[in-house]
Chain A
């Protein structure tokens, strides 16, 4: 059997075991995948994961049966206790709708008494109408769920949804360009898991798919099920345009039915695609007493009404009777949107993400307000099925020029990091790498505009930053997709949701300290499957013996935990290493190439 159940709630799963795949499929339902390196994957049982499982219909008996079935050893007693205790918490309190009112019900009246007297829950409750039944205040559906989750009582929401304004929508059998298409099997499964037959058990939740797995298509599939007006929230304008383009390409909706709500254009159509940025755009408030918190920071709005005053575009949620709200990259959902989402719990909500991991640790809010995880496929499965490209990560170390060392030694903090990140030697190394991959589309990604501008100048390659007008961006992306340009230098704006299927090489010249999300997103840019089956190659250039190395190590940990192969080389010695390890850990993934490279530092 492939599973080792440890008493600290971790589950170790052997990858090379013949029962690995079956056991993994079972584990995904009730455990969080923590790490998936090459040999042993680590899962963890958490209250949230068990509640997710319970929400999906897997009770404690199912969880324990799976652990017993795949475990090498007997399941520790404390694990049994935890599973039984936590999984049974979900559903002890149910939220139901009755005659227009919302009620918390439970078969355990004492439990509701406890809830009633809890000071963080009490403000959202209206009255105790009977033993085992409490009326919830109007519009407090999301807040009461949030509050109850925080005190350890996740609520089973069976209050149902408003259908929203109908919008007949059909998925076309072929795109408007004439290419046949249909949802892949896992995408169909994801849509069905989310929709849940249209009943109150479905209709809200999160789908977790790796970058490049086609989350947009899952969203379109969900729209096809909902047949209602839909609000889609994305990370940036480029992503907005890609959503719109996909919808127009693959559905029978026309341009007069799909609009964007961004900084540049503010259209509200039956299908509206907006950015988080515009929703959280603040009004300029008149300075006055109370505007400034003692700390000097602006006070945060505490209610949805206050939030809408401060963030006027949040009214978009109320502009139409949306039948479905799609949150793309849900792990980036900003706090004000959370607050508004608490008020629209009667609408169906779909979260799409590659990772449930939030840098701010608000996974519980995602669970309470968007919904439990409904479906997940690990990237390794999709890689095995050929839906996403195989990737190898290389970290190349370069020396910081001696002339910069004195300056580096006296700087500190961000300046020191920046000096190391902007190491000019990297420009030469990028040039060598471009020679190394002559026939591939290459993204050069960086954090500092000055450095990217220098690169663009040195390499005679186009530069795309936040300052680049949207029209110019689209033009560059189109040229890149068409193969008219093979190298594109991009800043952080390209981290999210840029669909460049043919990019197979990414060179990261500088990163945002140790941000794991950024690293995953950047790698995700090259994970779309290539038409010729080429593997993707990710280079991270790091200045040796500098603070950049430490941050690179953090990013390295994240990538290896995701299961990517990671190779570290000194740039000037990489050629020798390559010769020594040719056929094994060879640096290149583009096949044999006798071009004499790696001249840096010689």
Chain B
């Protein structure tokens, strides 16, 4: 195909800026060129792309929508966003008749028809199969002003004398006049391009998303986090994954997009403009920000303003409008953005942005360093327990400080303060004081002695104790114990001594069954253990299950210890009177009647699939937080947590384990060990 040939034929100096602008690595270009030659192969090929080029392609195309594909094509492939080499690229394409420049009073031009099917197929069928459209910020007015096919036809005829055969002008074919006039006129050897035509009467304004919302959304699209449909945003399955990522990973991802997309655009005046505009932490209307930035840009850079805008919103980014619709449920829980207002903001006029410290760092870091102090890159620790960080402090270090210190002031230089509370909180989150001290070691003059001393002292005040429920199995003598051990039933259990094992509560049933299956005669019964467990929790339990009694002749019994024996045993193994209470210590609970399984909780929210989709991320995080709190408070561990699942069922879990995506524990409703995926939990309920 001609486009592919043209791309191959582009001189390196033209590809260079393209590569940097679009962030497409060389491999990605090759892949793209290869696949452009055969649109039919694209569908398959795209899915088999390596991650790097795939990411690049996503970034490349995330701006687009079906009717904007030609514009994007022009911007990225031809004018290179006004970057060096655009004129040469245009020349090449014109020479090869790929590009037909029907310059008119409006200055629009179209892509040669033979390219169009490929391009449109590429866009519509492959990369945006389910997309509708939306408008990124900055281009909306131009789009509206230039979308009258009749005007374009008129221009064709007026400039060229005839409408080229085979060209049928449709709205989506029209390219907005977006490029730098000077560059285009130089490329096309014309003295000057006329001004844009006025808005054609009767033209229908574009009903897109508010410019303030689009940029963040575009970043989300770039990550495949959301998909765009006409007028509606929906979460994709990636959203939940992304929401569950640690904040560092979320941010590093956004940083990657930003760096890839905008690194070359964010030139010094522009970055300084953004920074100057927002550095004071004030709320700012995006439109006002764009106006501010306009003074730093040439006409050909307007797209770049949008790009910077994307960065601000994606990276900075406290957007009131994020609480609008699904964005709230996606971005706010993910900490990607802070809603500026507690209530949904339906009107885009109320949107506002302001810089987050990370964005301040990032933006300031793109400015040419004038005279940065020596603590610009390494944090500066002072004897006053203050830590100063400059704009070029590595993000990882910023994250470390965010978790260990209280942020006092955010500006060109951010001030943190180490306090007993902040250090203690970080230590409780399993932070290691040495990590912090190592990170601060680069401070000019090192870490002051009093600060070093206090950090260690405060961190050492946090004592990690874990309380858990367990079953102690004890044999009468060592010989019997060895025989029992050989059965393999104690896999995953801790051997407390020659004749005793600690069996985690969630493995009690498994171990018990394995022992009885292996012929061991276990004195006592599993149900009794569970009853005692439930009795400790003051929960009614089921008593109708018959206790398993499988004798194994000739093998000594493995009696459950009595409370007294248990204490003696514990003391013998180095556990004092303060040792965690064991199940056998508790007051036995003797149920007198069978208690039916609890009814589904009535106040559990009734969620339609749609509203569930809306609220799930939020609910999920709330649930996680609650469960985490339950785990962190040792005293609450073992108490039941009521969870309503999305199918309407209710589980009252004695939480034993919590991972990034699931919660596990003993369900006192079902009397079974459960591991529930967090995504299936709709709400927490009163047990």
Chain A residues proximal to chain B, CB less than 8 Å: 1-2, 4, 6-8, 10, 12, 14, 16-17, 35, 37-40, 72-74, 76-78, 395, 553, 556-557, 560-561, 565-569, 585
Report, nearest first, the 7 A-B pairs whose CB atoms are least far apart: A7-B280, A560-B383, A6-B411, A37-B382, A568-B453, A566-B450, A560-B384
Q: Which residue of A lies closest to B410 (CB)?
A: A8
Which of A7, A17, A73, A565 contacts B281 (CB under 8 A)?
A7
Stretch among B27-35, B89-97, B372-380, B534-542 lining the A interface: B372-380
Residues of B within 8 A of A8 (CB): 280, 409, 411
Which of A10, A72, A78, A585 contacts B409 (CB under 8 A)?
A10
Q: Is the CB–CB distance between B409 and A14 below 8 Å?
A: no
Interface size on B, residues (CB 8 A): 29
Which of A10, A74, A560, A569 contacts B382 (CB under 8 A)?
A560
Q: Is the CB–CB distance between A567 and B449 below 8 Å?
A: yes
In angstroms, Cα B453 to Cα A566, docked, is 11
Q: Report B419 CB to chain A, min CB distance, Å.
A: 9
Residues of A within 8 A of B552 (CB): none
Using known A-B contacts A10-B409, A12-B388, determine if residue A76 contacts B279 with beta carbons closer than 8 Å: yes
In angstroms, Cα B409 to Cα A37, docked, is 17
Whether, in the assembled complex, B166 has its beta carbon less than 8 Å from a beta carbon of chain A, the answer is no
Q: Which residue of B lies closest to A17 (CB)?
A: B373
Residues of B within 8 A of A76 (CB): 276, 279-280
Q: Which of B373, B382, B383, B448 has the largest count of A CB atoms less than 10 A from its CB?
A: B383
Q: Is the CB–CB distance between B279 and A4 below 8 Å?
A: no
Q: Report A37 CB to chain B, min CB distance, Å.
A: 4
What are some 16 contacts across the A-B interface (CB < 8 A)? A7-B279, A7-B280, A16-B374, A37-B383, A39-B445, A40-B373, A40-B375, A72-B372, A72-B373, A74-B276, A76-B276, A77-B280, A557-B385, A560-B383, A560-B385, A568-B450
Residues of B433-453 whose CB lies within 8 A of A: 444-445, 448-450, 453
Q: Is the CB–CB distance between A4 and B413 below 8 Å?
A: yes
Residues of B within 8 A of A73 (CB): 370, 412
Q: Is the CB–CB distance between B412 and A4 below 8 Å?
A: yes
Q: Report A321 CB to chain B, min CB distance, Å.
A: 48
Q: Is the CB–CB distance between A40 and B412 below 8 Å?
A: no
Whether, in the assembled complex, B386 has its beta carbon less than 8 Å from a beta carbon of chain A, the answer is yes
Residues of B within 8 A of A557 (CB): 384-385
Q: Report B386 CB to chain A, min CB distance, Å.
A: 7
Which of A35, A78, A568 contacts B454 (CB under 8 A)?
A568
Residues of B within 8 A of A2 (CB): 373
Q: Is the CB–CB distance between B383 and A78 below 8 Å?
A: no
In angstroms, Cα B373 to Cα A565, docked, is 22
Residues of B within 8 A of A16 (CB): 374, 444
Q: Is the CB–CB distance between A40 and B371 below 8 Å?
A: no
Instruction: With A35-B384, A37-B382, A39-B380 given, name 14 new contacts (CB 8 A).
Output: A1-B371, A14-B373, A16-B374, A38-B383, A40-B380, A73-B412, A77-B280, A556-B450, A557-B384, A557-B385, A560-B382, A560-B385, A561-B384, A566-B449
Q: Report B269 CB to chain A, min CB distance, Å.
A: 13
Q: Report A567 CB to chain B, min CB distance, Å.
A: 5
In angstroms, Cα B388 to Cα A553, docked, is 20
Q: Report A24 CB to chain B, min CB distance, Å.
A: 15
| Chain A interface main SS type | mixed
Which of B276, B280, B444 contacts A39 (CB under 8 A)?
B444
Residues of B within 8 A of A74 (CB): 276
Q: Is the CB–CB distance between A6 and B450 below 8 Å?
A: no
In angstroms, Cα B445 to Cα A556, docked, is 19
Using known A-B contacts A6-B412, A560-B383, determine if residue A567 contacts B450 with beta carbons closer than 8 Å: yes
Residues of A within 8 A of B388 (CB): 12, 40
Q: Is the CB–CB distance between B370 and A72 below 8 Å?
A: yes
Residues of A within 8 A of B413 (CB): 4, 6, 12
In angstroms, Cα B411 to Cα A78, docked, is 13
Q: Report B288 CB to chain A, min CB distance, Å.
A: 14
Residues of A within 8 A of B383 (CB): 37-38, 560, 565-566
Which of A39, A72, A395 contacts B371 (CB under 8 A)?
A72
Residues of B within 8 A of A10 (CB): 409
Q: Which residue of A lies closest to B370 (CB)?
A: A72
Which of B374, B412, B420, B450 contacts A395 (CB under 8 A)?
B450
Q: Report B632 CB to chain A, min CB distance, Å.
A: 24
In angstroms, Cα B408 to Cα A10, docked, is 12
Residues of B within 8 A of A567 (CB): 449-450
Residues of A within 8 A of B448 (CB): 38, 560, 565-566
In angstroms, Cα B279 to Cα A566, docked, is 35
In angstroms, Cα B448 to Cα A40, docked, is 14
Q: Which of A1, A6, A14 has the largest count of B CB atoms less than 10 A from its CB?
A: A6
Q: Is the CB–CB distance between A38 and B281 below 8 Å?
A: no
Residues of B280-322 whose CB lies within 8 A of A: 280-281
In angstroms, Cα B417 to Cα A561, docked, is 13
Q: Which residue of A lies closest to B417 (CB)?
A: A557
Q: Which residue of A lies closest to B275 (CB)?
A: A73
In angstroms, Cα B279 to Cα A567, docked, is 37
Q: Which of B372, B420, B448 has the largest count of A CB atoms less than 10 A from its CB?
A: B448
Residues of B within 8 A of A560 (CB): 382-385, 448, 450
Q: Is the CB–CB distance between B280 and A78 below 8 Å?
A: yes
In angstroms, Cα B386 to Cα A1, docked, is 22
Q: Which residue of B lies closest to A557 (CB)?
A: B384
Q: Which residue of B lies closest to A577 (CB)?
A: B449
